[in-house]
Amino acid sequence: MPNASQPRADAVLSAPELRVDEEAIRANVRYFSRLTRGRLMAVMKADAFGHGPVASAAIEEGATALGVASLDEALTLRRCGLDVPILSWLNPVGADFASAVSQRIDLGVSSADALQAVVRVAHRLGHRARLHLHADLGMSRDGAPASEWRSLCELARMAERQGYAQVVGIMGHMSCADRPNDPQNLRERLRFDAAVRSARRRGLAPAVTHLAATAATITGIGGDHDLHRVGAGLYGIDPSRTSSELRFALSLRAPVISARRVGAHVSVGYGARFITDRPTHLALLPLGYADGLPRAASHRAEVLVRGRRRPIVGLISMDMAVIDTGDDFLTPGETVTVFGPGDQGEPTVADWARWSETIEHEIVTRIGARVSRVQRRTQRKEPE
């Protein structure tokens, strides 16, 4: 990620810019900290869902642990001096487990091969690896299948007796938590409870169990466990569509490159998929699908300019998008808001997800490296 900088109120955009509102993230963390009664693991995977260095803010506002997918992400957080539990749950058997063990990174383990790879490293170093055994509850992706769960627990207990591992957690993930009334949720909760009981019968004593992510935390269907792994919600995304308290934290803006007046029956973009039906004005933005604007949103998406929403017309290109500004002739350099929190009538990440027939998670994590990031940091007051 490019280095974040403090924005100037009078700055004129010279290139597309993604602004990260740290106070919005802080407010979302406070909401989830209250909701979970302080049992919050803030998920920072994929560069904090594209929001950058916000882990410290999450901890300051009540998160007690951090979660990521890859070990590289976990080690990056630890190198930042964050002295809280950090869990990484998606690693190949050849990952740098030596660094994980020495840096006190908790590791999600879902197979005997992964467990044995970690234990071998811990044995060589003379340390205990901190493990969270991961049970598959019905998604058939990460997590140990039910047929392998008993043997995984037995191997983990053997490693504990040998002094090379400590099972500190049992984890699972729900497939339909965004639909709280789906009967699959009950089935998966029962499977998780059974997995925890099975682990304890085999002598394991995990300090924490965790099942709920954002949707299950908001709706309460996974609320009776020790931790909640909340990622999307910290950034304003509610997959369950039931909370009105979350705030989007990203604003994407771009300067107009050029503008022109065209007549009726003029084609725009590749394939001549759009033909003007009247004389109008067009403006060119230096943003395209290489920067994260989904091509699937072509002919549907809108932007905000001069206080009005205007449609993107023609196919979104790799580097460019064209907007139809009607009677307004835009000046090169004028700022267009592609998406934001919606307070000023601009499109939101949810709008872009709907236009692209995808989810908000994909929109916020796909903004390309050419777009500069500006971190709008909150100045915290010291107590008097």
Q: Which two tokens stand for residue 167?
A: 């099972």
In whole angstroms, give the CA distance from residue 20 to residue 250. 5
Say which of 31, 45, 164, 235 is annotated catalytic. Answer: 45
Which DSSP string do the residues of 358-372 spell out, in sequence order?
S-HHHHHH---TTSE
Active site residue 45: yes
What is the b/e burial string over 354-379, where b = at least 16 CB atoms within 10 angstroms of the residue's CB? bbbeebbbebbbbbeeebbbbbeebe
Active site residue 270: yes
Is 332 exposed, middle or buried, given 0-12, 13-18 or 19+ CB atoms closer than 10 A?
exposed
According to DSSP, the residues that pair with 322 across neighbouring strands are 284, 313
Say which of 31, 164, 235, 270 is annotated catalytic. Answer: 270
Q: What is the CA radius of gyration of the chain?
A: 24
**In Å, how far from its chain's centre is CA 92?**
21
- The sheet with strand 280-285 has its strands ordered as 258-262, 280-285, 321-326, 308-313, 302-305, 335-339, 250-255, 17-21, 372-376
Q: For the chain, what's the residue count?
A: 384
Q: Which two tokens stand for residue 221?
A: 């269907």
In whole angstroms, give the CA distance from residue 65 to residue 228. 10
Contact 84, 78 (CB under 8 A): no
Question: Helix 146-162 to helix 183-201 angle, to the nearest 10 degrees?
Answer: 30
Active site members: 45, 270
